[in-house]
Amino acid sequence: MEFNVADLFESVASEIPEREALAFNRADGTIERRTYAELDERANRLANALADSGVGPGDHIGLQLYNGQEYIEGMIAAFKLRAVPINVNYRYVASELAYLFADADIKAVLSEEDLSDRVDDIVDALPLLDTVLYVGDRYEAALAAASPDRPDVGTRSGDDRYLLYTGGTTGMPKGVMWRQEDWYFAALGGREGQHPTDIAPKAVKGSSLPRRLPLCPLMHGSAQWVVWQTFLAGGTVVLSTDRRFEAAAALDLIANESVSLVMVVGDAVARPIGDALDSEPARWDLSGLKVFSSGGAVLTSAVSDRIQVHVPHLRINNTFGASETGGQGRMIKGSDAEGSPRLATDGTTMVVDDNFVAIEPGSGEIGKLARRGHIPLGYYKDEKKTAVTFPEVDGVRWSVPGDLAQVDYDGSIILLGRGSASINTGGEKVFPEEVEGVLKSHEAIFDAYVVGVPDELYGQRVTAVVQYRTGVEPPQDDEIVTHCRTQLSGYKVPRLWVAVEELQRLPTGKADYRWAQDVVKASVG
């Protein structure tokens, strides 16, 4: 047995068949539940139905799905077949889907009935795509007609693939290729020295079984990682199938299902939760909630502190990582209030110069955040980008997604942001996330983006796109400038302000800087 997630899931399911694996809400407000045995059987049936249609080891299965049991079943079924599930953004229009389906070599797709027109528009142009299964009656009929037995695909391996498409904030989506063993150790809680046969017994003996709720789309890597961490620990995944995020509804689910850990994607989700708690502080019993975790986007101290006021016992895990690295560590609490946030990590992550020599602590030198050890194989079908992001230096492979950083005297890593998003103003570099954190600490500002716009004198001008709080009198620009100058050097303070009713974010919850640039261009002409 190797570190193959299908094998690991089946070993856990065999040991605790009657334990609750999944709980999810229905449109009528009821909660539906699946035991490990039930979820395992439904995934077996789906795997066998897909196999009957010609899907086999190495084939790619697109998951163009909203949050629901079918997404989770699709991932498990794909891994059971030694096939590869592909996360597909359900907001993509036909042209975007055509690119992704072709780039990812998708052979089969699980989709939603209300997205069928987009798939129908492109299917004839994709000769490799030969199986489309829509969730609903046809999906359930396919499962009912298929064998409930675990599929026989030979010996699974830790070399079997996990492929995560990431769009980031610029460029076309790229598929990050992982060996499952590396994925397990980098993102699913693996510890060196473990053996695959250790996983199921540990899940059986769990004294405090986790009940975890990912409050973001399952097409987001962080949500998938939480799901698999929970299954391999023998816990319960609690899933919201609501199409639109409502903080009050999420808190209802957290309280009613005694969720022990909730995972969000930064301030975009955490801030409305804080607002709801401020509005109705006595409405929810959150005594069972132990951990509030964020990944994939910035969670500022100003927001997390507001939540902790209402849930004093709560542990805030402000995690840092990327599709190309897995989890790299946790932000040091409160560090963003002093400027750039700081990261506490282990020996696999370091800040290096262009020659991959470690940056000296306290030197003030800016380097690249890099990770070695359990890292991806590269980008799918893109050797050029793979060579840049996953270089091999003196026999050691590195993952270098593009984040810039410094190392303080105490060894903590000062995060400066993604180099491609940095602003060059008068020869000085400004990192948007640092300025955004300061802006969002102002009581009148709900959310903010910072971008650079062309400037004849300075090259680029620091510009803020802000969303003010509802019911609050918008402050004057000079008031915000004064606020920023207490925490930022003068060259980092925005020179131009654009107010919008609502900031647009990517479906994953990450900042949409391309949209912000368009807003600024439309505003200033």
**CATH 3.40.50.12780-classified regions of the chain:** 5-15+29-215
Label residue 408 exposed, middle or buried (CB < 10 Å: 0-12, 13-18, 19+). Answer: middle
**CATH 3.30.300.30-classified regions of the chain:** 423-524
pLDDT of residue 454: 82
Lowest-confidence region among 2-11, 363-372, 431-440: 431-440
320 vs 412: CA distance, rounded Å = 13
- Tell me if the domain spanning 5-15+29-215 has CATH number 3.60.150.10: no
pLDDT 10s digits, 386-417:
999 999 999 999 999 988 899 999 889 988 87
24 vs 514: CA distance, rounded Å = 34
* Residues with Cβ within 8 Å of residue 518, at least 6 apart in sequence: none
Architecture (CATH level 2) of domain 423-524: 2-Layer Sandwich (3.30)
pLDDT of residue 489: 78
CA distances from 467 to 323, 500, 503, 509, 515 (A): 28, 5, 6, 16, 14
**CATH 2.30.38.10-classified regions of the chain:** 324-418
Label residue 403 exposed, middle or buried (CB < 10 Å: 0-12, 13-18, 19+). Answer: buried
pLDDT 10s digits, 428-476:
768 788 888 888 888 899 889 998 888 776 678 899 999 998 888 888 8
Q: What percent of the chain has pLDDT over 90?
A: 67
Q: How many CA atoms lie within 13 A of 338 on its CB side?
A: 9
Lowest-confidence region among 64-68, 119-123, 151-155, 334-338: 334-338
| Greatest Cα pair distance in the chain | 70
351 vs 370: CA distance, rounded Å = 6
Lowest-confidence region among 31-45, 309-323, 503-517: 503-517
CA distances from 511 to 82, 389, 501, 503 (A): 34, 21, 16, 9
pLDDT 10s digits, 148-206:
999 999 999 999 999 999 865 445 789 999 999 999 999 999 988 899 999 999 999 86
pLDDT tier for residue 525 given thresholds of 50, 70 and 90? low
Which tokens in the block code for residue 113?
């009935």
- Would you say 4 and 228 are in contact if contact means Cβ atoms under 8 Å apart? no
Lowest-confidence region among 18-27, 32-41, 240-249, 429-438: 429-438
pLDDT of residue 167: 67
Domain 324-418 CATH (choose: 3.30.460.80, 2.30.38.10, 3.30.70.580, 1.20.1290.10): 2.30.38.10
Vertex 161, ends 348 and 57: CA angle to 5°? 165
Q: How many CA atoms lie within 13 A of 453 on its CB side?
A: 20
Side chain identity at 168, as an amino acid letter? G
Q: What's the mean per-residue pLDDT of the chain?
A: 91
pLDDT tier for residue 420 given thresholds of 50, 70 and 90? low
Handedness of CA 223, 226, 232, 234 (dihedral sign): negative
226 vs 229: CA distance, rounded Å = 5
Phi and psi based region of residue 329 (left: phi greater than 0; alpha: psi -120 to 50; beta: remaining): left
pLDDT of residue 513: 84
pLDDT tier for residue 38 given thresholds of 50, 70 and 90? very high
Return the SS3 of 62. strand
